[in-house]
Structure 1
């Protein structure tokens, strides 16, 4: 009975969250903010669902974050990030360190003034800041896509590379600071720095090597059931994280780099595997945010409201811009308005809350205070920065209307990425048939081919003599976007 009740509750939470995601697309509010809100609504201070299992929340967060980072690597094209690799890498490493440093000093000062009885140490303040030192990519681009905004000057791949690769650096800082606090004595800073660098190096090498191994195995193994190939890729994701962890490397960096290697390689059933991971990443985010929302007690946020809000807005308007402008100082060709927008996209998401669970799991002093402040800062960031992303892009003159992606509705067909052609659907109108009803009577450019016609529920492989009817659907293939636009013009379908 308890299992069935739990399944009903989970399915209701998922259903409400998915519906709230549709609302977020229309309002331009990050879907993750609504997922969190649903979790809080059904938590101990709301409907009354009690969830206080820190270890379970940490395990859920670890698996979910591994999947999200792996999926992010799969979707990242190396040719897009190659021109901006240096600034993206600097933002993801030195940027995270500087953000933790500046925000740590700020947090220590704010907490000392607003909560003096807590006697927060500087190391604890640095731990608090480190949990929030990375940015969230999923919420950023879901907002930009929902508003139909594209970014100029290679900003999108820059932000994508930073937000996809800066979580491992933040994780290393968090784990290192937890160890320092638990030691309770003056550490060997040279040893700490060496271990930090080693974790990143081992993670990077492990991710690359195991990513290559995954591609080799997937291409060599012969599985009769094709639906198992995405499961095999998922297995590699978990395997790569776990192996790297036992090698004392950074598992999160390993899964991101392995995803990057695999996503930019050729392997069998690639498209179905990519689609599988896209859905899996969204489910992971949904499940993770619901769990984190259930874990927090909103009533505990009231006592830390003042310091939490001060830290939140100071990070948005002070430490993040300071970090970005200092980090990008060597890159003089990057315009100031680009740096300003990168500063604004220092969006907090699921990762800071997951990292804030680590002090709770390790019973660090003031761990609950850290968790509550991080949770509040994440809410403020999603609400303030998230909702204003499209507006700030327009103010800075960086918004560019993207070319609308062509999606097939009547023909469930996908071509391999290696085939550099474009498919589109065209409805047959009365005007098209004015010179005759046969396909040969329709004027089409030389590089345009009609490969299939749908009439009602039937599909027809056409020839030049095929008779067309009004409301038929044509599936056409062209060499490129320019040829497709030429096809539209020849059919008097400009702006189709």
Structure 2
């Protein structure tokens, strides 16, 4: 790697940050920005970087997916998912296979492709994208049940799509399987990954509980070790390593760990950086000059997935639930495709099954359409379906009290938005719960040490020490003392 390469890497990173800041208000998903920049610097546009190494891309993306799936598991809280656990897991397992089968049936009939080849194509794009869905729904006001189902499904269906795709590649490559061995291999990949992931998660929990008085960096290092341990042990046992990594993250994410919020921030940062790396690499790997010959295939694949296969799968697998028709429609529409399908599209290239990058480019086009059309309209669809709910007052930031011991307190940051609220209030009039204290106020970049007589007003940022169980009460009592501008 020469100095010009380092220079280009720096320029690409700067471009991503600059363009992301420009398009932030438009809620453009990061995947589009990074892909566009990868394409821009790639062979077919500026020609600054010639990159067609699918093998290297697969190696890098496989490592990156470990961090992405671990973070997906780590940020899911079991208590919020209980009501949607069964339908979400059905959608993320049987649903992936069913979506692939239905899509392949229609695609093979329309384009006269061999059914197994069509099934490989559709298996690759059968999972929804957690990173895109989480970023879109993070600031949305959509019904909690519908969003929880959509998020949990997107966080758990990638491993099944990977298993499904890998199995079909082996099948197309001529690996002989008996029906019995096929079922056993498939079940072990899935169930074995879950069991090993949970096992490593509890091993990690045991280790964390016995480590005391270490710097936060050591805990971050331990997290990295557990990610690689989970993946490596599962692969050694011929189970699915990525499935194992997700469930290791799920166990640890639902455990009280020392420096918990720092670890959560660390895993989120790892996921963010590796997502960017994946998107840029896949953008470089794409050759847009080949798109005109394949755009019809990509468009039809997107339409089959979105309007036929996904709705049939969702309505069928949630038929036993009390989920309303409107929520089922929203879940059907929110099946945005993203990172993993494009990564999986490199697998046939590596296996020698897609030398002309036909499958890769078809998947690439369908994913772009999904992100732009579905991702860009999810909030509008929720409003049309009347699933938008009144957003509760929430904390803007949660700052961990730096201690390796459990504590019942959090330090929260509450911003009184002067674009939303008017009025003023004396702290003594808030009647906050006992053991809740406003420790500092930031007003116009000036720090104020408050007392009971201090007046708080819109534009202030309050830092409040509060018991965890009283966080929502404190937020409501503070913000409800002000009048909302749109209600006057």
Q: How does 1:380-395 map to 2 (within 5 A)?
A: 380-395=369-384
Kindly provide the CA deviation profile for residues 267-318 of structure 1, in whole angstroms up to 9, marking residues without a partner as x. Answer: 2121111101111111111110000000011111221122221122121111
Unaligned runs of 5+ in 2: 417-421
Cα pair 2:188 2:239 within 8 Å, conserved:
yes
Q: Which residue of 1 aligns with 2:27?
A: 28
2:307 to 317, 322, 340: 317
TM-score (ref. length: structure 1): 0.87
CA drift at 1:183: 1.2
TM-score (ref. length: structure 2): 0.88
Q: Which residue of 2 aligns with 1:334?
A: 323
Deviates more, 1:85-94 or 1:308-317: 308-317
RMSD over aligned Cα, in angstroms? Answer: 2.9
Asked if 1:166 is matched to 2:157, the reply is yes
Cα pair 1:359 1:367 within 8 Å, conserved:
no
Distance 1:194 1:398 in 2: 42
CA drift at 1:97: 0.8
SS across alignment from 1:378: helix
Cα pair 2:414 2:475 within 8 Å, conserved:
no
Distance 1:272 1:184 in 2: 46
Asked if 1:6 is matched to 2:5, the reply is yes
Kindly provide the CA deviation profile for residues 192-213 of structure 1, in whole angstroms up to 9, marking residues without a partner as x. Answer: 1210001111101100000111
SS across alignment from 2:39: helix
Structure 1 segments, 4+ long, off by >6 Å, are 454-464, 466-473
Cα pair 2:127 2:341 within 8 Å, conserved:
yes
SS across alignment from 1:475: strand
Q: How does 1:71-220 map to 2 (within 5 A)?
A: 71-112=71-112, 120-145=113-138, 148-183=139-174, 187-220=177-210
Kindly provide the CA deviation profile for residues 53-82 of structure 1, in whole angstroms up to 9, marking residues without a partner as x. Answer: 112100111111111110011100000111
Cα pair 1:39 1:291 within 8 Å, conserved:
yes
Flag the 1:128–1:477 CA change in 2: closer, same or farther, 3 A.
same
Cα pair 1:360 1:368 within 8 Å, conserved:
yes
2:288 to 284, 295, 298: 298
Cα pair 1:24 1:30 within 8 Å, conserved:
no
Asked if 1:449 is matched to 2:453, the reply is no
Q: Which residue of 2 aligns with 1:116?
A: none
Q: Which residue of 1 aligns with 2:340?
A: 351
Flag the 1:137–1:216 CA change in 2: closer, same or farther, 3 A.
same
Unaligned runs of 5+ in 1: 113-119, 434-438
SS across alignment from 1:150: coil
Flag the 1:487–1:107 CA change in 2: closer, same or farther, 3 A.
closer
Kindly tell me the number of residue pairs found equivalent between the two proteins.
470
Cα pair 1:110 1:311 within 8 Å, conserved:
no
Distance 1:300 1:18 in 2: 29
Flag the 1:178–1:449 CA change in 2: closer, same or farther, 3 A.
same
Q: Which residue of 1 aligns with 2:242?
A: 252
Q: How does 1:46-57 map to 2 (within 5 A)?
A: 46-48=45-47, 49-57=49-57
- Larger of the two Rg values belongs to structure: 1
Distance 1:161 1:472 in 2: 36
Cα pair 1:312 1:380 within 8 Å, conserved:
yes
Q: Which residue of 2 aligns with 1:43?
A: 42
Flag the 1:472–1:181 CA change in 2: closer, same or farther, 3 A.
closer
SS across alignment from 2:268: helix
